[in-house]
Structure 1
Amino acid sequence: MTLFEARPITVSIARPADQVYAFAHKPESFPKWAAGLGAGLTRDGDRWVAHGPDGDVKVRFSPPNAYGVLDHWVTLPDGTEISIPLRVVANGDGAEVTLTLFRPPGMDDARFARDQGMVADDLARLKALLES
């Protein structure tokens, strides 16, 4: 059994969870706050192609649902698929958005710390967009 080191990264957003989900679940919304998707997304059948800083990657999103699940899977050019669990849950009148970042084998401490910072920045952008 393989278990990867995981870091949940969470932001509180002062908007109802259903409104946060309604915005964030649309693939077209991701480039507005998720820097890793770079210049945007192009639809390619049931997947999307993200034009990011390290080249194009394929992205598959979880279908719309009533549970706040925003999971997505990124397929790198070498065929490696990365699972990115993402959730919106109610917190009183607001919402918590949590992305679980997995550390792949071979990733050094500096790169993992950098990725955590990038995710925190992305979630801060989402918060700013939704609270403005």
Structure 2
Amino acid sequence: MTYPVKNISISINKPADEVYQFASNPENFPAWVAFIKSTTREKANIWAAKTDLGNIKIAFTPKNNLGIIDHLVTLPDGSTVNNPMRVVANGKGSEFIFTLFWMPGRTEEEFNQDAKMVESDLQDLKNILEKG
């Protein structure tokens, strides 16, 4: 069984390696992921975050040269959500891609609201990176 997905992307006028370095650093998440208020490293690739939803755990894929920023988020209720993210070269800039899964129990309205939040976060990421 598969879940419906929406791939949300944004073009960023910065080189892919620069976007990857910023976006893959969990310390930067509060600057561009609206619901995350703070992050604290617990282990090598495991971070705790204070969010609008309560305290969560985030397990990141190790640093890599492929632009992969996949991470598993464990929510306060113990459920885990897979968040695939990619940075790929696009000319002299890059494309940032987030795959949003429509999880069981979420209504269409909630899924669409989640997508709008991701789109807003990606716009914030673009704005931060293109200013610098």
Structure 2: distance between partners of 1:45 and 1:64: 14
- Could you tell me the TM-score, scaled by structure 2's length? 0.95
- 2:71 paired residue number: 72
Which residue of 32, 38, 41 corresponds with 1:40?
38
Deviations 1:92-118 (A, max 9, x none): 000000000001012101100100000
Name the aligned partner's letter for residue 40 of structure 2.
T
Q: Which moved more, 1:24-33 or 1:111-120?
A: 24-33
How many residues are paired up? Answer: 130
Tell me the CA shift for residue 45 of structure 1: 2.4
SS of equivalent to 2:117:
helix
SS of equivalent to 1:40:
strand
How large is the RMSD of aligned CA atoms in angstroms?
A: 0.9
Name the aligned partner's letter for residue 70 of structure 2.
D
Q: How does 1:1-132 map to 2 (within 5 A)?
A: 2-37=1-36, 39-46=37-44, 47-132=46-131
**Is the 2:53–2:76 contact (alpha carbons within 8 Å) kept by the matching residues of 1?**
no
Structure 1: distance between partners of 2:65 and 2:41: 23
- Could you tell me the TM-score, scaled by structure 1's length? 0.95
Tell me the CA shift for residue 119 of structure 1: 0.0
Structure 2: distance between partners of 1:79 and 1:108: 20
What are structure 2's unaligned runs of at least 5 residues? Answer: none
What are structure 1's unaligned runs of at least 5 residues? Answer: none
Structure 2: distance between partners of 1:86 and 1:121: 15
Q: Which runs of 4+ in 1 moved over 3 A?
A: none
Structure 2: distance between partners of 1:77 and 1:116: 21
Identical residues among aligned pairs (%): 45
Tell me the CA shift for residue 22 of structure 1: 1.3
